[in-house]
Amino acid sequence: MKPRERFQVRGAPGLVTARYFADEFGQRRVDYWAPDKNATHLLVAHDGQNVFDRKTATRGRTWRMAQTATKIFTKAGLPLPIIIAVFNYSDTPDKNGRGRDLTPQQIFENGVMPVLSEIEPSRRIENSQLRADKYHREIVENYIPTILAEANLSPTKKAMIGASMGGLATLYGLSLYPNYYQTALALSCHWTIGAEPLVKAQIDMLPKPGKHKIWMSRGTKSLDKKYPPFQNLADELMLVNGWQFGETFQSKVYRRSSHNESSWASYLDEVFRFWLGV
C-alpha cells in the first residue's frame, strides 16, 4: 500500500487524507476529510478526484465540498461531517474504468439498451464488463468501514452524492443499499445513455418512499441541455410513486448552470440544506 498523504483544503478545518485500496486494476485512491470527532453525518462522493484537490481535478476546479460543508453544518449547529471521495479509473490501464464503475449494472443487464449515439465508440462497454455492483459493494464493505475505523467515527446518517454518471451511480447505490444510505444527492443525471427506459427502470428500482430523501437537479447549458425530457419524466414518476416534492424529493433547474464542477459547487449549499432539512 502506498503511504498515506495528508493535505489541507483552504477554507476548511482539518486535513484531507489520501488513502489507497488494492483493487483488481491497481490502487484505488479514496480521499477523506474527517475534521470532527463527533461527526454524525457521512457523505460518499463519486469522482473523488474532483472533490477536494485542484491538483487531481479534471478541469482544475473542485466541488469545494469541505468548504461548503463547513459553512452549512456550522450554521445548522451540527458537527462537521466525514466526506469520503472515491476516485474513478479514467486513466490507463483502464481508460473506460469510470463507465464500468458508474453505469447502473443490473438495469442494463436486464434489458435496457444503451443509446450508442450518446457514447463515444472508444468508450463503449459491453454489459459483461460492467462492475457497478462490485464498486458499490467495495464502498460499503471495505472503503467506509476501514476509513471509519481509522478516523474512530460512527456516523449514523449516511448519504451519497455524484454528478453526471456519478448522479446515476448515486441513485443506483441507494437502490442497492437502501438500508445503509438514507439520502441520495444526484446532480445532472446522465439519463441520455439509456433515455426513457433507463429513467423508468432506475426510478422503479428506488426504495419505496418513507425512509429516504432524494435530490435531483440539472443546469441549462452544455450537456445539461439534453436532460429536460428525461428529468421531467423522472420527476413525474417520482410523484406517481409517492415521493413528496419538496420534502422527501426535490428536483431543481439552475438557469445558466453548466455540466462542470464549478457549476455544481455553485449551488452545493442548497443540496446540503436539503440533506439536513435546514
pTM metric for this prediction:
0.96
- Average per-residue pLDDT for the chain: 94
Closest by CA to 46, choosing from 141, 185, 179, 202, is 185
More confident residue, 171 or 25: 171
Structural contact between residues 212 and 186, judged by C-beta atoms closer than 8 angstroms:
no
pLDDT band with cut points at 50, 70 and 90 for residue 90: low
- Predicted local confidence at residue 23, as pLDDT: 78
Res 59: pLDDT: 87
User: What residue type is 207 in one-letter code?
Assistant: P
| Rounded distance between C-alpha atoms, residue 81 and residue 182, angstroms | 15
What was the pLDDT predicted at 110? 96
Percent of the chain with pLDDT over 70: 96
Boundaries of domain holding 223? 5-276
Residues 14-24, mean pLDDT to the nearest whole number: 90
Q: What is the pLDDT of residues 56-68, one digit of tens each?
A: 998 889 999 999 9
Please report the pLDDT score of residue 123 as a whole number.
80
Rounded to an integer, what distance in angstroms lies between the CA atom of residue 42 and that of residue 44?
7
* pLDDT for the residue numbered 2: 54
pLDDT for res 3 = 46
pLDDT at 147 over 90: yes
Alpha-carbon distance of 179 to 173, in angstroms, equals: 11
What's the structural domain count of the chain?
A: 1
pLDDT of 102 above 50: yes
Q: What percent of the chain has pLDDT over 90?
A: 87
Report the alpha-carbon angle 225-231-233, nearest 5. Answer: 130
SS (H, E, C) the chain: CCCCEEECCCCCCCCEEEEEEEECCEEEEEEEECCCCCCCEEEEECCHHHCCCCCCCCCCCCCCHHHHHHHHHHHCCCCCCEEEEECCCCCCCCCCHHHHHHCCHHHHHCCCCCCHHHCCHHHCCCHHHCCHHHHHHHHHHHHHHHHHHHHCCCCCEEEEEEECHHHHHHHHHHHHCCCCCCEEEEECCCHHHCHHHHHHHHHHHCCCCCCCEEEEEEECCHHHHHCHHHHHHHHHHHHHCCCCECCCEEEEEECCCCCCHHHHHHCHHHHHHHHHCC
**CATH assignment of the domain containing 213:** 3.40.50.1820
C-alpha cell at 256: 445558466
Span of 6-10, 76-80, 104-108, 204-208 with lowest mean pLDDT? 6-10
Average pLDDT estimate for 91-111: 86
Query: Could you give the CA distance from residue 154 to residue 131 in angstroms, rounded to a whole number?
Result: 28
Nearest to 229 by CA among 175, 189, 266, 174: 189
